[in-house]
Amino acid sequence: MIPTPFDYIAAKSLDEAVALLGKHGEAAKILAGGHSLVPAMKLRLAQPQVLIDISRIKDLAYIREEGNSLRVGAMTTHYALESSKRVRVVSPLLAECAAAIGDVQVRNRGTIGGSVVHADPAADWPAAMIALRVEMVCAGAKGERVIKADDFFVDLLTTAIAPGEVLREIRIPLSQGRTGQSYKKVRHPASGFAVVGVAVNLGLDAAGKCANASIGVTGAAAKAFRAGGAEAALTGKPPDAAVAAAAAAKAADRQDMNSDLYASAEYRRHLVEVTARRAVLAAVGAAK
Amino acid sequence: MATKYVGNRVKRTEDPRLIQGLGHYVDDIKLPDTLHVAFVRSIYGHARITGVDASAAAKAPGVVAVYTGKDIGKIGGVPCASDLPEMKKPEFLVLASNKALFVGHAIAAVVATDRYLAKDAADMIQVDYEELPAVTEEVKAAAGAPYVHEQFGTNIAYKLTAGEGDIAAAFRSSDKVIKQRILNQRLAPIAMEPRGVLARYYPGEQELTLWSSTQIPHLMRTQVALMLGMPENRLRVITPEVGGGFGSKLNVYAEEALLGWISMQLGQPVKWIESRRENFQSTIHGRAQLGDLEIGIRKDGTVTGLRYNVFADMGAYYQLLTPAIPTLTGLMLSGSYKIPAIQINVTAVFTNKMSTDAYRGAGRPEATYVVERAMDLVAAELGMDPVEVRRKNFPAPNEFPFKTATGLFYDSGDYVLALEKALKNADYKKLGEEQKKARAAGRLVGIGVSTYVEICALGPSAALPAGGWESATVRIEPTGTVTVLTGASPHGQGQETSFAQIAGDELGVSIEAVTVIHGDTSIVQYGIGTFGSRATAVGGTAVFVALQRLKEKASKLAAHLMGVDPATVKFADGRFTSGAKSMAIQEVALHAHLAKSLPEGMEPGLSATYFFEPKNFTFPFGTHICIAEVDKDTGEITLQRYIAVDDCGRVINPLLVDGQVQGGIVQALGQAFYEHVVYDENGQLLTGTLMDYALPRATNCPWMELDRTETPSPVNPLGVKGVGEAGTIGATPCLVNAVIDALAPLGVRHLDMPLKPETLWRIISGNSARSA
């Protein structure tokens, strides 16, 4: 419960943070809300020698609409997203996912940027990031680059962010027309993390058929994944209970499910199916 | 005597300071020049220690000293107060030197100028291990090698048979003997405040002071003095605020003696605050019993006999009461029923795990769980209503004191009264109808019932190794304020409030004028401490009797001061009155201290001390009912209602009783649905953090519909029985019975705790062989 020694630097600007990261290299870690990194440090599982705190940098915590997208600063807390009335209207999945994270204390400190960059396989955000097809804007020494959510989550605790880069912003394309979104999860009774979590973002056409579907799954495997088979099973069909069930079965049709003390791979596969079905039906309900 | 306070929902006087963060726990006590201790603990469940290289640590920044098992030769072993015939007794030294016998076994202690440097240096210590095969399963452990303690040539710590009546004949005379293997899984107590010790030795005065987060300051003083070989009257133990214990601090731990010893070596204060990870590894666990139940019944539901053959997992060593816990299980196997023949056969085994010991209920929840599961098994076997099976086997109110076949005399009880009240509050008949409808609609809804009795107010001295009495001193100070010194050691139960209520009513003073002092062995007369739901029934009685003695003296003095016949003096509302003359008790107290005019032979001052020895235990009881629904898709459980009727005798403060019952039910919920300390086959602790070990959260808790009956105990003048553990004892089987009832249409009769959703899902989906 006591970390190894480290230096602490409060960066004043994003440029300074990037420069510090370049200077200290692998010895350094970015500190955002500290709700993934600090617990790991207390157990000495993470032993960074330098912490670069980006929480004091102005204008990294914001939610604003620009054209057809929502821009969310990396330091935006879960609570800010959960409680924003505008977010609930334009991107309800963001608010619903935020509200499903941890507890009030965690949501008040923890940030969306810190969570996605940590890429915990049981974190809630990755499912929503995939379902919303977000773009991650990363700042580095050579300027900014944009990483699509599908390319962002690479493996267990591993993202496509390069050494020396800092996540600055998450851009969420806003859906048009009849859309419905939902996030459903099975909470781990101890950690509160997702045993499985399924985020659904779908659109209906004028006839009430599913015009498009985007589904992210977290908690189930080493990294969050897109349930492409389920999306295909929904698209072009009237999303009734039978179609939802068929799509959910596709979401669960994988061989790489996690297994732990709480849930075997077999049970997890089943939970993905149940949760996906519930999330699809809830999203359809929201779209009507 | 009018009771202004007793019986009323008086708010806890402790709370303002605790809510505002103004309380002082061990870690809040800061002494100048304090050094900090960090431990190196075994990472293996069973290993030979072939070398400990502390050379780098000794040179690390801020390090003052490093101690290993070779340095602490004179410190006595960790004490165990219980002794059973032919019990194997391993010596549990404060630091391991040859072998590590469980994950978390302390191997070295590093002392440094701050906590961080101590931990950094501890990480530099190289321990060479030769890993040995671990003993982790009770049944295998009893069967033979490998051994936890090679010198014994067995893992069996002791075997014990208890109970009365001819069990074989009882089974022969029955129509059916139902058998079931039942697990009471290993649990971690997880007090909100982990353990902690601050030790300060003054070499000149040769005086050692230990601030420790403990439930038993005086017993700890005695035991640590013995371990350190120092005079007991040079050791002072202070328990500041204690953030929960649940039995885990009813103990004397290696760290408590070792910290005292280190302070004596260095002549400086030393502090150690347990981390949560250490708390999981090296603070006692509870339960860990795996047993085979046999219950003989007649066709009408009458129980003829009960046998329980149980393997009790001791862990690697004994702590203070480790071997005694299964004996309490044996005592309570009659539950609230007339069972003519009862037998328990305990096989206690050593395993490469942390010691088990008293955890909220301490052996009694295990027994109640077995008996209350048994009653449901009988109901299922005979197709009877579980309530009727219970009612059929209750002793009648006029049979008390009721003698059980386990050798106890239940003090008082009206089990039907509590049952009927609970059935009425729950609207049991309607519940049954609703369940039928729900089942017809394909839902898995279950009704759980448990009618428990427990043993409290521990207890007569004959039954406890260190005495079962409790002490109190009450004083009225010269300025009229009242001081109560109790030998009990409340750590969340609220006796600062309830004892002030008793004193306030007895002396006719405001509770604001009363201060209750506890937990300092240099201030408070010797006491036993707080555990076994004893503090109010035994300690409160001591306070009550001491108050009567104080009033007797004050009354005589008042008569003298007023110049009246003592026989004419009456006391009410804080005033002594005789005819037209009257004096406040505070005035009398002042005169007692000024001592200018005392009756012939009266000592100055106004205080009284009483050591109360109870004649018997008390036996609270009650009925719990709950309704649970299991999600057919996921196996997740939802509690729809929770109804409890508890009888803890006379109630001093209903608010405190409600709080104890609620907390107890929540901890029962933990055992029933969530908690399990899991070691793997190598003795690795797999549930070593709160990210893995699930405690019930507020959002998991049902709304609790609490009610009471009040059957006074005849064994103490307050009529109090005790309530600290009742919730845990009554609720665990109630919760499990509800879920098993929900799955009964699938043919389920028994499932082991914790009732994990995956287990339930496997049954629902036909993926698992059904139990029993």
State whether B622 and B771 are in the same domain: yes
B4: exposed, middle or buried (Cβ count in 10 Å: 0-12, 13-18, 19+): middle
Please report whether residue B84 resides in a domain: no
Q: Is B70 helix (H, G, I), strand (E, B) or coil?
A: helix
Q: Name the DSSP class of B285.
A: B
Interchain CB distance below 8 Å, A274 and B633: yes
Residue B433: partners with Cβ closer than 8 Å, 6 or more residues away:
none
Nearest to A182 by CA among A127, A135, A133: A127
- Per CB-CB distance under 8 Å, the chain B contacts of A43 are 277, 689
A-chain CB neighbours of B674 within 8 Å are 189-190
Domain boundaries defined on chain A: 7-53, 63-173, 178-287
Put the strands of the sheet holding B303-315 in their side by side order. Answer: B156-162, B341-350, B303-315, B286-297, B176-187
| Element at B53 (helix H, strand E) | strand B47-53
DSSP of B3-46: -SSTTS-PPPTTHHHHHTT---BGGG---TT-EEEEEEE-SSSS
Determine whether the interchain pair B116/A2 forms a contact, defined as Cβ–Cβ distance below 8 Å: yes
What residues of chain B lie within 8 A of the CB of A5, using their CB?
116, 120
3-state secondary structure of B637: strand
Residue B236 burial (CB count, 10 A): 18
- Report CB contact under 8 Å: B691, A191: yes
CA closest to B754 among chain A residues: A262
Mark whether B490 and B527 lie in a shared domain. yes
Question: Which amino acid is residue B628, in one-letter code?
Answer: A
Q: How many angstroms separate the CA of residue B274 from the nearest CA in chain A?
A: 9
- pLDDT value of position B769: 47
Specify burial of residue B597 (Cβ count, 10 A radius: 0-12, 13-18, 19+): exposed
Mean pLDDT of chain A: 96
Is residue B119 assigned to a domain?
Answer: no
Same domain (yes/no): B428, B441: yes
**Residue B628 host element (H or E):** strand B621-630
Which of B115, B277, B758 is the closest to A267 by Cβ? B758
**Are B758 and A2 within 8 A, CB to CB?**
no
Task: Tell me, yes or no, whether B695 and B771 share the same domain.
Answer: yes
The answer to whether residues B636 and A187 touch, using CB atoms and an 8 Å cutoff, is: no
CB A91 within 8 A of CB A201: no
Closest by CA to A132, choosing from A75, A184, A183, is A183
Sign of CA dihedral B741, B745, B748, B754: negative
Check whether residue B625 and residue B680 sit in a common domain.
yes
Chain A, nearest residue to B763 by Cα:
A267
Q: What is the DSSP letter of B470?
A: E
Q: Taking CB atoms and an 8 Å cutoff, what residues of chain B touch A191?
A: 691-692
On whether both B551 and B669 belong to a single domain, the answer is no
- CB distance A262–B634 less than 8 Å? no
Residue B279 within any structural domain of the chain: no
Does a structural domain hold residue B546? yes
Confidence of residue A288 (pLDDT cuts 50, 70, 90): confident
Distance in angstroms (rounded) separating the CA atoms of residues B25 and B242:
6
Q: CA nearest B293: which of B301, B283, B303, B302?
A: B303
DSSP chain A: --PPP-EEEE-SSHHHHHHHHHHHGGGEEEESS-TTHHHHHHTTS---SEEEE-TTSTTSS-EEEETTEEEEETT-BHHHHHH-HHHHHH-HHHHHHHHTSS-HHHHHH-BHHHHHHHT-TT-SHHHHHHHTT-EEEEEETTEEEEEEHHHHEEETTEESPPTT-EEEEEEEEPP-SEEEEEEEEEE-TTT-SEEEEEEEEEEE-TTS-EEEEEEEEESSSSS-EE-HHHHHHHTTS---HHHHHHHHHHHT--S-----SS--HHHHHHHHHHHHHHHHHHHHHHH-
| Residue B133, SS3 per DSSP | coil
Residue B543 φ/ψ, nearest 5 degrees: -60, -45
What whole-number distance in Å separates Cα of residue A126 and Cα of residue A117?
10
Fold of A7-53: 3.30.43
Whole-number Å distance between alpha carbons of B386 and B219: 44
Three-state SS at B154: coil
Q: How far apart, in whole angstroms, are the C-alpha atoms of residue B303 and residue B333?
A: 13
Nearest to B408 by CA among B451, B462, B357, B476: B462
Asked whether B241 and B18 are in contact (CB, 8 A), the reply is yes
Contact A271 B634 (CB under 8 A): yes
Is B771 found in the same domain as B627? yes
Nearest to B289 by CA among B628, B660, B732, B721: B732
**Structural domain count, chain B:** 2
Which pLDDT value is given to residue B767? 65
Report the gap between the CA of A118 and the closest CA in chain B (Å): 17
Q: Please identify, among B594, B612, B630, the residue that sits at the C-terminal boundary of a domain.
A: B612
Nearest chain A alpha carbon to B120: A4
Q: Residues of A with CB below 8 A from B123's CB?
A: 4, 44
Query: Which of B563, B583, B612 is where one domain is finished?
Result: B612
Closest-CA residue of A relative to B631 is A274
Side-chain half-sphere CA neighbours of B303 within 13 A: 33
Positions of chain B with pLDDT under 70: 1-2, 767-772
Strands B47-53 and A69-73 turn out to be unpaired
Residue A226: phi, psi to the nearest 5?
A: -90, 135
The C-alpha atoms of residue B623 and residue B368 are separated, in whole angstroms, by 12
Q: Which residue of B has its CA nearest to A193?
A: B691
Residue B433 lies in a domain: yes
How many angstroms separate the CA of residue B389 from the nearest CA in chain A?
35
Shortest CA distance from B38: residue in chain A: A2
- Given CATH 1.10.260.40, say whether it is the number of domain A63-173: no
- Domain stop point among B597, B612, B627: B612
DSSP-assigned beta bridge partners for residue A217:
A198, A225
State the nearest Cα–Cα gap between B443 and chain A, in angstroms.
17
Residues B560 and B646 grouped into a single domain: no
Which residues of chain A make contact with B701, given a CB cutoff of 8 A?
Answer: none
Judge if B625 and B738 occupy the same domain. yes
A190 → closest Cβ in B119, B276, B692: B692
Q: Which residues of A touch B (CB under 8 A)?
A: 1-2, 4-5, 43-44, 186, 188-191, 261-264, 266-267, 270-271, 274
Are B546 and B414 found together in one domain?
no
DSSP calls for B639-706: EEEEEEEEE-BS-S-HHHHHHHHHHHHHHHHIIIII----B-TT--BS--STTTSPPPPGGGPPPEEE
User: What is the CATH classification number for the domain harbouring B712?
Assistant: 3.30.365.10
Residues B640 and B699 in one domain: yes
- Inspect the interface and report whether the beta carbons of A261 and B674 lie closer than 8 Å: no
Q: Which chain A residue has its CA at the smallest distance from B696's CA?
A: A189
Is B123 in contact with A44 (Cβ distance < 8 A)?
Answer: yes
Q: Which residues of A touch B762 (CB under 8 A)?
A: 267
- At CB < 8 Å, which residues of chain B contact A? 38, 115-116, 119-120, 123, 275-277, 633-634, 636, 673-674, 678, 686-687, 689-695, 697, 700, 756-758, 761-762, 765, 767
Out of B678, B762, B767, name the one closest to residue A261 (CB). B678
Range of the domain at B526: 459-612
Q: Which residues of B touch A267 (CB under 8 A)?
A: 757-758, 761-762
pLDDT score of A72 more than 50: yes
Domain at A178-287: CATH code: 3.30.390.50
Answer whether B277 sits within 8 Å of A189, measured CB to CB: no
Residues B627, B734 share a domain: yes
